[in-house]
Structure 1
């Protein structure tokens, strides 16, 4: 070493001792050049360069000094090739395919000792991820053909350890229980597995930090959790240094010209002298940005300058409003099936107008509620010299947006039926909807056809046509309905509100009355064996503020409908039917949504209200009370259900919205049909509760299954309900 420092040597020769690797490659990679100057630091650098080739298990470099310079000898031991797929011995809990994917060793690759070591580490990591601790992994390299080996991993699987205890140290202001409730890793309990998730443990630390900062401890320090393993149990120790608690001090604004200080203070979620909550402070800042974006000030900058004063945090919001942005162009991208005008007519952001965030959100809602897009992303183009922008709506079309089905179905009423069903909400990409259905069985023949034009003559008027033929066998008679309806709806002056009108013509006839049929004291079916004609006019209002109509999380739906049928021209049926319905959706926590629904109805007539226009509650559908068979709840006369002239239904649903296409729910229903509204009594409402799922499947639509328990049945018990495109969808 001292000689190298005192004298300068020239590299006279470089030789290589290798079996298979090209010697010139080794010399070139090492960095040694014959005739070049030699430095001692070149040796470790050359070794590093050669190891980077990932070809060798061992490398050494020897030097010798001769009269004409330095002679260098490089010795390498090549790593063998992996001749076949690695094998695993002792893996019972994890499949071979998962292990192979984790270690990523391929047949034919060079197998260095480092690669084997890394693979062993990865296997242990995989077992740790699945909560198998104390796993031992050994390797065995067996020679195969020339310079090829087989590789075996011998695994001694550890045991799954449960979290027996979580200890919190250093917490004085917040209780152990409050902190633990913020964690995803929980101690083993009756309904908790107690499995440790290392990735979630890191998230737990951040959750605890956020929890403390929401309670004024802005300088909280949380050490990395300590995990202790003993006797097949885990203990997690979390050490906390709370530091000082802070309160909200003075709040000031500077630079606000568009909004008054009073307006901005109303948006605040924090107040002076209360405990400083970092989440509320961030939400307040977000509200400021949203308010400015609603007025087009998308370049606005708001900086909360925080000043510590003893235990108080004074905040001054320094606002640079900049200038508002207008919209140059509205561009639609990603619609390969739907025509552009179908999307564009739903958009309320128009070229040449001020950019407003609320209008972008409204446009996204309207596009999504068309029902044939699974994702909508708004983007802005590069601003021009004036700061104006292009607004781009990127849509992703659903695959299999329509539904087609054929098969067999069974119900207690209709027995076994075969059906063919086809529906599509976007015929030829025009946004027009079509629906056809054919059902044939021993007790039912049902043919339906429907067509809807959502924008008649490119106006906001919706028009539709429905035709139907139904021949259904009931207990003592057969009922045949032939009819059609035209319907129109158009926007009302109130936002989100529409007026609807339907004119319906229907021919109804009772056939094949059984000999054993006995009329009730109030009604005789034999009067309806002569065909009866109905001419009905339906007038109604709907107000729909739901965020998404197919699987809503917020908003409400209100409907007030009246159907009036009078014996005029050739008609001979008289009735007046009124219904009111409201549904409200409340996001309560995480992905949980609470839905409350109320439906009421009254039907009257100067004569007798026809059986088929009366209310029958129970089962699913508009008048559903789950836990009871369809149409099973109504007044009874002489042992027969005769339908009610008044209806009351109340439904509560707690929905876990796991995705836009899948949800699980728990429900509580109560309702009944009554002889008339004067007979209504809360004590007569039938109660049902249970659970259900909703899933949207391409080409099939929305499938629903509910299992309800009827508390007030003659014999309380469960009733299953299977639905295709169920009422209310999600």
Structure 2
């Protein structure tokens, strides 16, 4: 409006300059004579004449539209604060014209007063000021608004911004902006009030407002600051709740944001719910491949159902469970499929729809393009891809391929790009997979002090190794890599007292044609009293083990299943050492077969958001007691009894990942596990090896000492829930609530809260799955590619221990008997807390 007034005044002044010489009742045509430009020394005068539309020798009617248009053209350039056109004189039929201009000042530079360097840098990106920019009232207004908006987004709702204009003495017609900022104190949202809401609970509306929250003492991860952009998004999300229950005309009649006091904001939202609407008749047009009745079944919406726009779009285009019309067609080759829902009638609050379908031709996959794999060889990626050239296009296969590539652990899960490139001319599609490599190798280098001794550990795990290229000099950059093999080396020692060496190698595609993962490993451990083995005073244990395993993917019941077969051998050599085993001297052989049937459908290995992992494990030795010739084991010494370890084990574990929010960040993980170990001969009894130990953080999972399975129970001390020699039966239940702070592949970080319960039992007579030791707590997890998963947990154990437990009657147990929970802090290494 201000600029319009100036324009009118300028035109009026121009007309005034003609007043003494012109007859407005009788406009006259003149020939334009010489044109003079005044006040624009730094501008090209010829260009100004062209903008005005004046050229010497042209005909012009004065007064007339040409004069008004010339002033408007010059004004709209935004270069001048005043524009005036005068008729200087008339000689015969020739008009002498003068264009008088006042140039706008230019910005020479600007600076901030009251902003930190970091804030100033971010504001510069938003205001986009630069030297030489024309200064207008609009520029000043917009600059101030953007600075105010920047600070209000950060919670400084009362921020005061003033722009001081200072003449620059070094540059003609130039000014310096000094942007004064007084942030004042941060303001939080004190209250949010809803008016006119009857059909939806206010708590549900507040939960929908993800980033606009009232302040509360318990709210740690969401600040109650006010952000205009977040508030706008949250209002839209909130109104979807009304759409979901048929109130499609619901609208925000008025809302206001106001200061309660200098520290708190109030928000009032007045809503008109309107009337309920229902789905009416739904007709299908253009469907040739599927009958309308079948499409009705897939859509799952009947006449009379409450109108829900969000559900309708989900069922048509993309539902989380794959139950939608678009998936139905795209999973069967119809890449070019389109569907448009059209409202055909609204009567008595019933909405009729016509679903207009363009099925398109079936498209076949032509080329598979892989980009971004700088380290991983292409065949490693290509063998995991479910979409093959010549196959019908299938969107579900693409989704499954993304999961399989994520499971490899070589690529950033958040950076996957899958681009179908249609070729309508020949009815084919190229599929482009773009990956971003991340480090997957891990190093363990540590030193510690305990029991009066220093102990050092060096471990290396190469998760994308290439043994085929070990003898190629050019492949050592710094190590031969890219074939997806795993090589692990680990050594730990503190001299003669303790030494442990481990080696393992896995080829995930044995033979290169099928996903048959072949593994081989060797380990050797020994510990004693620091004497040499040939010294008569030596006492200790030496354990040597080897094993091979083969894992095969299955197609029945579905291809999430796999079967694992393992043959292992461990040799125990005991010399005058009765602290762990039932015998002081001698040796024992543990030869076992293991079978694991598992199903793994989790979507990501580091922070799963959906899917499950379920496994059944059976492990057994031969029943040596049936043919070793011993009829009375009580009459033989322990060496003969334990010459061959004899047992069978059955174990079941299951864990599920359930997303609780639409963005799948908040995840609930229930987990359950049962384990049983039995003996072929009641007289020979349970072997001292492979037993279950419960309590603490179970850092090693499986102890090399005697094959014992260490299972965590947070909130209790290490192995205190089980007996000294371990137990043959175990149960454990876990419930975890997880939320990610960062999903950056270089450092994934999430927090968790847990409820846990478990126990071990000496036999079936004492087994009771409800007699468990409970705990509650919380923790954090950090995944660093070089070091794997690290974490800290703190839990409180509530229940006193059973008489058979190692920690029964201890100080902590006495506190629990008295009704006082006892806390325990645990350091976590690795994603699994034991294998149960």
TM range (shorter): 0.7 to 0.9
The residue correspondences of 1:256-655 to structure 2 (distance < 5 A) are: 256-286=287-317, 287-306=324-343, 307-374=345-412, 375-390=415-430, 392-408=431-447, 417-427=455-465, 428-441=481-494, 444-458=498-512, 459-472=514-527, 478-494=540-556, 495=558, 496-510=560-574, 513=577, 525=581, 527-566=583-622, 572-590=644-662, 591-605=665-679, 606=681, 607-621=684-698, 623-635=711-723, 641-655=724-738
Looking at structure 1, the residues matched to 553 and 644 of structure 2 have their Cα atoms a distance apart, in angstroms, of: 33
Conservation of the 8 A alpha-carbon contact between 2:715 and 2:796 = yes
Looking at structure 1, the residues matched to 267 and 500 of structure 2 have their Cα atoms a distance apart, in angstroms, of: 64
Conservation of the 8 A alpha-carbon contact between 1:550 and 1:729 = no
Report the CA distance shift for 1:91/1:710 in structure 2 as closer, same or farther (over 3 A).
same
Looking at structure 2, the residues matched to 72 and 414 of structure 1 have their Cα atoms a distance apart, in angstroms, of: 100
Corresponding position of 1:638? none
Looking at structure 1, the residues matched to 397 and 594 of structure 2 have their Cα atoms a distance apart, in angstroms, of: 33
- Say whether 1:676 aligns with 2:763: yes
Report the CA distance shift for 1:48/1:394 in structure 2 as closer, same or farther (over 3 A).
farther
Q: Deviations over 1:457-500 (max 9, x none)?
A: 113321111111223579x9854322121111223352222222
Conservation of the 8 A alpha-carbon contact between 2:75 and 2:83 = no
Conservation of the 8 A alpha-carbon contact between 1:269 and 1:280 = no
Instruction: Choose the corresponding residue for 2:244, options 202, 214, 217.
Output: 214
Conservation of the 8 A alpha-carbon contact between 2:85 and 2:97 = no
Corresponding position of 2:824? 719
Looking at structure 2, the residues matched to 293 and 276 of structure 1 have their Cα atoms a distance apart, in angstroms, of: 26
Query: Which deviates more, 417-426 or 311-320?
Result: 311-320
Conservation of the 8 A alpha-carbon contact between 1:47 and 1:60 = no
Conservation of the 8 A alpha-carbon contact between 1:404 and 1:700 = yes
Gaps of 5+ in 1: 636-640
Query: Which deviates more, 113-122 or 273-282?
Result: 113-122
Corresponding position of 2:205? 179
Report the CA distance shift for 1:149/1:276 in structure 2 as closer, same or farther (over 3 A).
closer
- Provide the aligned C-alpha RMSD in A: 3.5
Q: How many residues are aligned here?
A: 709
Looking at structure 2, the residues matched to 59 and 473 of structure 1 have their Cα atoms a distance apart, in angstroms, of: 100
Looking at structure 2, the residues matched to 480 and 11 of structure 1 have their Cα atoms a distance apart, in angstroms, of: 113
- Say whether 1:65 aligns with 2:93: no
Looking at structure 2, the residues matched to 103 and 332 of structure 1 have their Cα atoms a distance apart, in angstroms, of: 40
Conservation of the 8 A alpha-carbon contact between 1:420 and 1:437 = yes
Looking at structure 1, the residues matched to 600 and 441 of structure 2 have their Cα atoms a distance apart, in angstroms, of: 24
Looking at structure 2, the residues matched to 328 and 487 of structure 1 have their Cα atoms a distance apart, in angstroms, of: 37
Which TM-score applies when normalising by structure 2? 0.76
Please state how far the C-alpha of 1:504 moved relative to its aligned partner: 1.4
Looking at structure 2, the residues matched to 66 and 440 of structure 1 have their Cα atoms a distance apart, in angstroms, of: 109
Query: Which deviates more, 15-24 or 572-581?
Result: 15-24
Report the CA distance shift for 1:228/1:7 in structure 2 as closer, same or farther (over 3 A).
farther
Looking at structure 2, the residues matched to 450 and 190 of structure 1 have their Cα atoms a distance apart, in angstroms, of: 51
Report the CA distance shift for 1:217/1:143 in structure 2 as closer, same or farther (over 3 A).
same
Q: What secondary structure does 1:152 align onto?
A: strand
Conservation of the 8 A alpha-carbon contact between 2:71 and 2:83 = no
Please state how far the C-alpha of 1:528 moved relative to its aligned partner: 4.4
Report the CA distance shift for 1:22/1:326 in structure 2 as closer, same or farther (over 3 A).
closer
Report the CA distance shift for 1:297/1:42 in structure 2 as closer, same or farther (over 3 A).
closer
Q: What secondary structure does 2:408 align onto?
A: coil
Looking at structure 1, the residues matched to 201 and 652 of structure 2 have their Cα atoms a distance apart, in angstroms, of: 49
Query: Which deviates more, 672-681 or 59-68?
Result: 59-68
Query: Which deviates more, 169-178 or 334-343?
Result: 169-178
Report the CA distance shift for 1:386/1:150 in structure 2 as closer, same or farther (over 3 A).
closer
Looking at structure 2, the residues matched to 346 and 548 of structure 1 have their Cα atoms a distance apart, in angstroms, of: 15
Looking at structure 2, the residues matched to 81 and 280 of structure 1 have their Cα atoms a distance apart, in angstroms, of: 53
Conservation of the 8 A alpha-carbon contact between 2:370 and 2:434 = yes
Report the CA distance shift for 1:471/1:388 in structure 2 as closer, same or farther (over 3 A).
same
Q: Deviations over 1:349-386 (max 9, x none)?
A: 22222222222222222222111122433322232445
Query: Which deviates more, 12-21 or 555-564?
Result: 12-21
Instruction: Choose the corresponding residue for 1:198, options 217, 223, 228.
Output: 228
Looking at structure 2, the residues matched to 8 and 170 of structure 1 have their Cα atoms a distance apart, in angstroms, of: 69
Report the CA distance shift for 1:539/1:235 in structure 2 as closer, same or farther (over 3 A).
closer
Conservation of the 8 A alpha-carbon contact between 1:253 and 1:317 = yes
Please state how far the C-alpha of 1:651 moved relative to its aligned partner: 1.5
Corresponding position of 2:806? none
Conservation of the 8 A alpha-carbon contact between 1:373 and 1:398 = yes
Looking at structure 2, the residues matched to 103 and 594 of structure 1 have their Cα atoms a distance apart, in angstroms, of: 43
Q: Deviations over 1:499-544 (max 9, x none)?
A: 221121222234574xxx8x7xxxx747243232322222222222
Q: Deviations over 1:579-600 (max 9, x none)?
A: 2222222223332222222222
Looking at structure 2, the residues matched to 414 and 364 of structure 1 have their Cα atoms a distance apart, in angstroms, of: 51
Q: What secondary structure does 2:792 align onto?
A: strand
Q: Deviations over 1:618-676 (max 9, x none)?
A: 223552111223333212xxxxx111111212222122246374432211121122222
Looking at structure 1, the residues matched to 116 and 369 of structure 2 have their Cα atoms a distance apart, in angstroms, of: 55
Looking at structure 1, the residues matched to 661 and 199 of structure 2 have their Cα atoms a distance apart, in angstroms, of: 25
- In terms of fraction of residues, the more strand-rich structure is 1
Report the CA distance shift for 1:409/1:685 in structure 2 as closer, same or farther (over 3 A).
farther
